[in-house]
Each structure stands twice: as C-alpha cells, then as structure tokens.
Amino acid sequence: MSKPEIRRIVLAYSGGLDTSVIVPWLKEHYRCEVVCFTADIGQGEELGGLEAKALASGAAGLIVRDVREEFARDYLFRVLRAGAVYERKYLLGTSIAWPLIA
C-alpha cells in the first residue's frame, strides 16, 4: 500500500527554534507546502516579526488567529478556578492553550 501524497502541512508555529527548524525539514522530507499557524493568546509584541521569520524558514505563509477571548473564557478561567499546577508548584502556562491551538 502506497503512502498518500501530502500536499500541505499546517504547523502550529511559535517562531522558536524547534518550529523554525522543522519547517525546512518538513518541506524536504514530505515535498509539500508548509503553512504556519499561530494562535494569539495574548503574546503581544512577541508576534512582531513572526511572519518574516516563518517565511525566512521556508513557510508558504503565516496565519495568525486572535483567540484571546476564547482562551480566557473557555480555558484560562477554568484552570485558575481549578488551581491547576504542575508538580505542586508551577502554574500551568502555555500548555493550557495547546488544545485550543490544535
């Protein structure tokens, strides 16, 4: 059975080292277009220059969606109310946004 052809991959993109390096790797190994996606959960100035960085790494483009209201309403407030912590000392941060980003 042959593998299906992959024409486009959408990558959850932060602009950090890991996601910037994976763009050219995906293009090389899958021979496909890579579109980067960033969810604006309130990063502010960190989003500045992100599109240029994605394009410089070989992405076909960057899509940014403002999900701040949904993040606060449906995720953040619930985590705060639950007092969710990791290893009894670290408040959950960015990881709580991962389900929304996905």
Enter the CATH code of domain 1-66: 3.40.50.620
Instruction: Please tell me what DSSP assigns to residue 57.
Output: T
**Global pTM?**
0.85
Tens-of-pLDDT digits for all 102 residues of the chain?
A: 777 889 999 999 999 999 999 999 999 999 999 999 999 999 999 899 999 999 999 999 999 999 999 999 999 888 888 888 878 887 777 788 889 999
38: closest CA among 2, 71, 84, 6? 71
Domain residue ranges of the chain, discontinuous segments joined by +: 1-66, 67-102
Say if CB 57 and CB 20 are below 8 A apart: yes
Q: What is the widest separation between alpha-carbon atoms in the chain?
A: 49
Which residues are paired to 65 by β-bridges?
39
